[in-house]
């Protein structure tokens, strides 16, 4: 059982460029989350997918951010016209279907973004 | 609204000493609580979770936590620290709405273990 996989692990980009991160959740996990973590802070929720439907977007997700999960499997997070404030680790997580709020959410290794 | 406060952004202990990382939560409904650990340049790994039932929860690597409703706390402990325990620890509470749950994290506590 492989874990949540994220690619690339590290990305350095110039301000104004677009970047895209990919996340492959644990197989059969229909719930997928993106979080952002800046230095010295806990992860902050960005968006949630159930299958291919994006059910929630945080106010942290500005218009420059877009996330997709076209076939309910892998997901991409794109940041357009990157700014230095976008420098952070972007974490993807997934959990299994089912009711209740006790389902464990499994995190990937994260994708570090540095905007220079 | 759910929230989590972790007291102490940095904790330093000697190898073999007791580890105590503090977490207090705020929740309008019975909370589900989690502790995650993050090693340098890695993602988050679940240490333990409390949902219902026994209030003393045991996790991996010898860690445990006790849910105390009267104190709105979920402190993480380990009787004897190892050098390998040095990491950042996050407490989280579940926000469940719209048929799904998401985690609300505290700011984290960095644990240093010295010889």
* 3-state SS record for B74-95: EEEEECCCCHHHCEEEEEEEEE
Q: Which residues neighbour A14 within 8 Å (Cβ) at sequence distance 6 or greater?
A: A82, A115, A116
- A51 has a chain B CB within 8 A of its CB: no
pLDDT of B20-39, one tens digit each? 999 999 988 888 899 999 99
Question: Could you tell me which of B91, B83, B82, B93 has the C-alpha nearest to residue B109?
Answer: B91
The pLDDT of residue A52? 94
Chain A CB contacts of B40 below 8 Å: none
Of A6, A43, A101, the CB nearest to B101: A101
**Cβ–Cβ gap A106/B103 under 8 Å:** no
pLDDT of A6-43, one tens digit each? 999 999 999 999 999 999 999 989 999 999 999 889 99
The pLDDT of residue B30? 80
How large is the average pLDDT for residues B26-54? 90
The pLDDT of residue A100? 55
Is A99's pLDDT higher than 70?
no
Report the percentage of chain A scoring pLDDT > 90: 79
How large is the average pLDDT for residues B66-83? 96
Q: For the residues of chain B, what is the DSSP string, one character each?
A: --EEEEE-SEEEEETTS-EEEEEEEE-SS---EEEEEE-TT--EEEEEEE-SS-SEEE-GGG-EEEEETTTTEEEEEESS--GGG-EEEEEEEEEEETTEEEEEE---EEEEEE-
- B104 has a chain A CB within 8 A of its CB: yes
> From the CA of B42, how many Å to the nearest CA of chain A?
5
For residues A59 and A44, what is the distance between their CA atoms, to the nearest angstrom?
Answer: 11
- B100 has a chain A CB within 8 A of its CB: yes
pLDDT of B76-110, one tens digit each? 999 999 999 999 999 999 877 777 788 999 999 99
How large is the average pLDDT for residues A84-90? 96
**Cβ–Cβ gap A43/B44 under 8 Å:** yes
Mutate to test the interface with A, among B3, B100, B107, B108 (most CBs of A within 10 A): B100
The pLDDT of residue B69? 92
**Cβ–Cβ gap B105/A42 under 8 Å:** yes
How large is the average pLDDT for residues A45-54? 94
Report the percentage of chain B scoring pLDDT > 70: 100
How large is the average pLDDT for residues A101-107? 79
- Cα Rg, chain A, nearest whole Å: 14
- A7 has a chain B CB within 8 A of its CB: no
Q: Which residue of chain A has the CA closest to B5?
A: A42
Is B47's pLDDT higher than 70?
yes
């Amino acid at each position: 059982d492989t874990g949540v996989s994220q690619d690339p692990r590290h990305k350095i980009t110039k301000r104004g460029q677009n970047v895209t991160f990919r996340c492959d959740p644990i197989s059969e996990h229909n719930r997928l989350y993106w979080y952002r973590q800046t230095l010295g802070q806990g992860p902050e929720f960005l968006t949630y997918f159930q299958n291919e439907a994006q059910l929630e977007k945080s106010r942290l997700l500005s218009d420059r951010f877009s996330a997709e999960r076209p076939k309910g499997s892998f997901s991409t997070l794109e940041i357009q016209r990157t700014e230095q404030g976008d420098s952070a680790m972007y974490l993807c997580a997934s959990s299994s279907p089912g009711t209740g709020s006790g389902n464990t959410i499994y995190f990937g290794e994260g994708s570090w973004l540095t905007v220079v | 609204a759910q929230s989590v406060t972790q007291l102490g952004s940095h904790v330093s202990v000697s190898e073999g000493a007791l580890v105590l990382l503090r977490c207090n939560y705020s929740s309008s409904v019975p909370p589900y609580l989690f502790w995650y650990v993050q090693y340098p340049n890695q993602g988050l790994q679940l240490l333990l979770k409390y949902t219902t039932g026994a209030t003393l929860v045991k996790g991996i690597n010898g860690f445990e936590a006790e849910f105390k409703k009267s104190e709105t706390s979920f402190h993480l402990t380990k009787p004897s620290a190892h050098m390998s325990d040095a990491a950042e620890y996050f407490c989280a509470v579940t926000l469940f709405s719209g048929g799904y749950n998401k985690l609300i994290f505290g700011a984290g506590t960095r644990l240093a273990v010295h010889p």
